[in-house]
């Protein structure tokens, strides 16, 4: 079975500071990894995904994530936070084998302070 | 805008009632997934349909059922509603069922059971 752990349910950063949201996964097969963002009262929007190939993945809005197999991690970063980045961020793993659904972490609420 | 539409946006009903949530996938997408988002359970996979056929079930209660119609829209039926069923219900779609395919999420239906 696959699982995802997001460390820190709430993260606060100052505008212009580095954003680092942590995600660790568990999977018995090579994982497919995703980061989604959810703005208030909206659905989930894909930020980036890792399938195969390059381990550093660039996404929208200046975000990127690095797949580290040895650490079973897929942390999300952004060099300089913007007020508009305030949202909830979800890390997800899957599909795998015959299962096609995504397994989500519990989410990290990002607050950007002026 | 992901291209996935869900109706209604909000639904308020009483315990014991039955409701139907509707989802229209993106044009050309054959797979439809339903997820439930609640404060205590997070984002949980409910059920997956592909081209009209049920492909996988997750943590879906027996009081809940779903179907995908020939025009590929899907409905999630929730019956004998309980207070604990109050949640945000998301529909997501993808082109097919290949591994690593991203899922596009609708804006969700917020269900409140009083």
> Any chain A CB within 8 A of the CB of B58?
yes
3-class state of residue A80 by DSSP:
coil
* Beta strand pairing call for A56-58 and A44-50: unpaired
Residue A27 banded pLDDT, cuts 50, 70, 90: confident
Residue B2 banded pLDDT, cuts 50, 70, 90: confident
- B33-65 pLDDT, tens digit per residue, is 999 999 888 999 999 999 999 999 998 999 999
Residue A98 banded pLDDT, cuts 50, 70, 90: low
Residue from A4, A29, A95, A108 to probe the interface with B (highest B Cβ count within 10 Å): A95
C-alpha A50/C-alpha B55 separation (Å) is: 24
Which residue in the block uniquely carries the two structure tokens 């984002």? B43
Q: Inspect the interface and report whether the beta carbons of B56 and A51 lie closer than 8 Å.
A: no
Q: Is the pLDDT of residue B99 over 70?
A: no
- Mean predicted confidence (pLDDT) in A104-109: 95
C-alpha A111/C-alpha B7 separation (Å) is: 30
Strands (E), chain A: 3-7, 10-14, 19-26, 33-38, 44-50, 56-58, 64-68, 73-78, 87-93, 103-104, 108-113
**What pLDDT score does A97 carry?**
64
**What pLDDT score does B77 carry?**
98
* B-chain residues near A42 (CB < 8 A): 107-108
Average pLDDT, chain A: 92
> Any chain B CB within 8 A of the CB of A3?
no
């Amino acid at each position: 079975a696959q699982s995802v752990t997001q460390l820190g349910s709430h993260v606060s950063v100052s505008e212009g500071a580095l954003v680092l949201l942590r995600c660790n996964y568990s999977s018995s097969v090579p994982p497919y990894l995703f980061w989604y963002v959810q703005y208030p009262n909206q659905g989930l929007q894909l930020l980036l995904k890792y399938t195969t190939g390059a381990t550093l993945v660039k996404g929208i809005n200046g975000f990127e994530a690095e797949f580290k197999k040895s650490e079973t991690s897929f942390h999300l970063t952004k060099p300089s936070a913007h007020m508009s980045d305030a949202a909830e961020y979800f890390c997800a793993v899957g599909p795998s084998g015959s299962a096609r659904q995504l397994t989500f972490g519990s989410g990290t609420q990002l607050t950007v302070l002026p | 805008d992901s291209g996935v539409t869900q109706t209604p946006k909000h639904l308020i009903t009483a315990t014991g009632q039955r409701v139907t949530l509707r989802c229209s996938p993106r044009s050309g997408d054959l797979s439809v997934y339903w997820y439930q988002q609640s404060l205590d359970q997070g984002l949980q996979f409910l059920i997956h349909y592909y081209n009209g056929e049920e492909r996988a079930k997750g943590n879906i209660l027996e009081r809940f059922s779903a179907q995908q119609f020939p025009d590929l829209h899907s409905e999630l039926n929730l019956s004998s509603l309980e207070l604990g069923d109050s949640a945000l219900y998301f529909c997501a779609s993808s082109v097919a069922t290949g591994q690593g395919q991203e899922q596009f999420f609708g804006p969700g239906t917020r269900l409140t059971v009083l």
